[in-house]
Structure 1
């Protein structure tokens, strides 16, 4: 995240610089082959910074989602009513801690607001997709009103925390389908039995025909109670013919859009902070040493 933040700041700075240089050169020396070659070099450098940001973003979300994956099932399996319902259950609190640490890291690294939003957008997309697929895959009692109320309560506790952390809008947007599915399972059984396929589909339009059919087919009405005839899908409903079609795809994640902002630091000015100047000098010395090591021994200025 630190490298992503730095590379973004450099990209923003050099984009402004290159645009200014292009305007000056077009006026002063249009068509100069040397200047054209220099601009090509600048474009290649900007492309390299693009690649760095993309790579660091991918690495960030990979490691964060890998951590989330093992913690997400607690939201489905934890009973929040065994303790104070206003407090996050310990296992669900572990999930929230990943979000909290990610937000803290983004602030410590001074990650730009657009990239912070997109990072959490991806985390919430992963949360939604992973939990929804797990919920649809498991038919071991989760498709019942009592279990759904527990899941809804856990989800609300997490969303309330995210709202307080300033991430509520992003979470609500990317976790919408999970929320709709849990709301469906929270419908009281007496009301659900009286509902028709058409009314349920209208009230839960985010659910595909195959997903709604799967939920109704496996809903726990009782050991001897058959689903009512009103739950049957209408002729021609696209059920896709297989359980694989009920799952959300991880490939449908939001694309990363690189920010185009005014740089926060003017890198052409002297460094005002002695501590930062010391770190920059140390970095320059390190990079100069790498260059020296690549030279033949008789051409090095460092002995």
Structure 2
């Protein structure tokens, strides 16, 4: 659902619809291109609250959703930008505005820090493309590398090489990478990997248990097996002397 909703953030015009969304606002009043993505985030948040998911797992769940969103949008932008109208100022302003609407809405829900961290790559790309053309033409490769560290040399080179300055206008020579980065910029991977997502870390404290409500009888055997397996994995990572002491006390 999220994969099919995300492309509208790159393609829709946020200035043709309703005003800015806010926490608790009816999604029907949100700009049409932003609405499907926010609906997925909102549904996920409501589900975590209904299930009383541990706060650490709520953060990690949304970290993964934002990681996927950033990588998917960034890769789509890099793929389509070289052949379409994405790498130019007016289109970048729309993308930046859509992304700001999403980030502001998430901030109002208390998810702003997580979103800002995982949308860093897409934000950097939008900021670069939003730079006025006259200012961008005066920039040099070292300056752009310093101002946009979230972008790899290959990604920055791809953006600059396909940036649309206007009919018949070639990229300024100052945009060329220096000799020490030339090969990396020309041959490096421009796409984000979906396999490098943050790991899931199970919390060890802060659980909320309902007193007087023991787990269902059929749930006890798998819970015991899971506890035993986790204990065995934990002992396997300990030095031999600590494993011996732990075995005396049992799981």
Shared fold (TM-score greater than 0.5)?
yes
Aligned equivalents of 1:225, 1:187: Cα separation in 2: 17
8 A Cα contact 1:129 1:248, kept in partner: yes
> Which residue in the other structure is 1:32 paired with?
none
Q: Which residue of 1 aligns with 2:170?
A: 226
Instruction: Tell me by how many angstroms 1:263 deviates.
Output: 3.6
Kept in 2: contact 1:213–1:239 (CA 8 A): no
CA shift, 1:242, in A, is 3.7
Q: For 1:61-80, what aligned pairs fall within 5 Å after superposition?
A: 67-80=1-14
2:155–2:185: 8 Å Cα contact kept in structure 1?
A: no
Deviations 1:188-225 (A, max 9, x none): 00000111111111111111110111000000001111
8 A contact 2:177–2:185 mirrored in 1: no
- Kept in 2, the 8 Å contact 1:115–1:259? The answer is yes
Aligned to 2:15: 81
Q: Is the counterpart of residue 113 in structure 1 residue 83 in structure 2? A: no
Contact kept in structure 1, 2:157 and 2:185, CA below 8 Å: no
- 1:74 CA displacement: 0.3
Provide Cα deviations, 1:224-254, integer angstroms capped at 9, x if missing partner. Answer: 11111111111121425447x0001111100
- What SS is found at the alignment partner of 2:38? helix
Q: How does 1:21-100 map to 2 (within 5 A)?
A: 67-87=1-21, 88-100=30-42
1:119-160 deviations in Å (ceiling 9; x for gaps):
000000001111011111112010000000000000000001
Structure 1 residues 221 and 119: CA distance shift in structure 2, 3 A: same
TM-score by length of 2: 0.78
Change in Cα spacing, 1:93 to 1:262, as seen in structure 2 (3 Å) is closer
Report which of the two has the higher share of helix: 1
Show the counterpart of 1:157.
101
> Aligned-pair distance for 1:85?
4.6
How far is 1:84 from its partner? 3.6
Give TM-score scaled by structure 1 length.
0.65
Q: Distance in 1 between matches of 2:133 and 2:112?
A: 30
Cα deviation, residue 90, structure 1 = 1.5
Pair 98,287 (structure 1): closer, same or farther in 2 beyond 3 Å: closer
- Would you say the 8 A contact 2:86–2:92 is kept in 1? yes
Contact 2:17 2:32 in 1 (8 A): no
Candidates 184, 189, 194, aligned match of 1:239: 184
Cα distance per residue 1:21-40 (max 9 Å; x no partner) = xxxxxxxxxxxxxxxxxxxx
Q: How does 1:1-303 map to 2 (within 5 A)?
A: 67-87=1-21, 88-139=30-81, 140-237=84-181, 238-239=183-184, 241-242=186-187, 245-265=189-209, 270-271=212-213, 283-284=216-217
User: What's the RMSD between the two structures over aligned residues?
Assistant: 1.9
Which 5+ residue runs of structure 1 have no aligned equivalent?
Answer: 1-66, 272-276, 289-303
Q: 1-side partners of 2:17 and 2:208: how far apart?
A: 47
